[in-house]
Every structure is written in C-alpha cells, then in structure tokens.
Amino acid sequence: MTAVSVESISRTVEALLVRNERAITFHDRGADVDRSVTPATAAPPNGLLPVFVVAGEAIWSEATGRGFELDIVRDKSALLGYRLRGIGSGSFTTVMLSTMTAVSATTTRTIPGYEADYLRQLLHQALRLAAEAARTVAPVSAVTSRN
C-alpha cells in the first residue's frame, strides 16, 4: 500500500465534523474558561487529527494486525503538542473508515467537560500503545518525536 495524504484526511474529517455538527468543548485550566474547538481547529494535522487517526489506527490494527505507519512529531505550537506529519501505509478508505469509527465513538454533538489535559493524555496513551504494538505486530506505527 502507498502513503495516504494527510491533507486529504484532514479536509475530509473537517467536512464530516461540519456536516454532522460535531464539536468538542473543553475546559482551559490556564484561563479557567470553557473553550469550544471548531471543526476547522480540530481537523488540521496540528489539531485533534493525531488523536482521531491514532484511534482509527488502533481500530484497524485490532481488525487486521496492521497499522498506518503514522509519523507523529512533537510540535509545541500544536493544539495538544503533536502534529500528524505522515501516513505511510493503508489507503484513503481504510484510514477514513477507521478514523470515522473512532470519531463517532468519541464525540457527540458537544462533549462538555473534556479538558485539554485529558485529550493530551489520551494522545500520549495512544502513542504509547502504538509503540508497544510496533514491537509485537509488524508493521504498526513508527512514532517519532521532535522538540
């Protein structure tokens, strides 16, 4: 299989979030205010897309024993501190179907009470699980970090 365009996945996730009126609301502890993340903020590679695609990869890996060879890097300017830089394997269809399943399972029209720290922890946990799976199932994810 060949690489999948991160930009195509990002645009499609945004369109689906808009069409389904999906939004995520979280509490910003630093400012002590609730913030709503729009689809335009959630869908980019430096938004919530890494969380969504890693969750989709976990679903796909569970079903097939294969991952998407995700290239996720640390990015201090990203919403949760990580950016999805590349998707090395799979097809647009398998990545989107798996990601849509993950998004559907984790979002409702709004999710009050989700905090940025919780989402960040979720991403850290998903990356840790992907790294563990990479040692036992080949190939799953190559997780890289850049400060």
Tally of structural domains, the chain: 1
pTM of the model: 0.70
Three-state SS at 38: coil
Q: Where in the sequence is the domain holding 73, given as residue range(s)? A: 6-134
pLDDT of residue 127: 58
- Structural domain contains residue 145: no
- List CB contacts of 29: < 8 A, sequence separation 6 or more: 115, 116, 117
> What's phi and psi for 50, nearest 5 deg?
-55, -40
pLDDT of residue 109: 39
Decide the pairing of beta strands 24-28 and 114-115.
parallel
- Structural domain contains residue 102: yes
Q: What residues of the chain score a pLDDT lower than 70?
A: 1-2, 22-30, 105-147
pLDDT of residue 142: 37
- The helix or strand, by DSSP H or E, that contains position 122, with its residue range, turns out to be helix 116-136
pLDDT, tens only, 60-84: 988 898 999 999 999 999 987 889 9
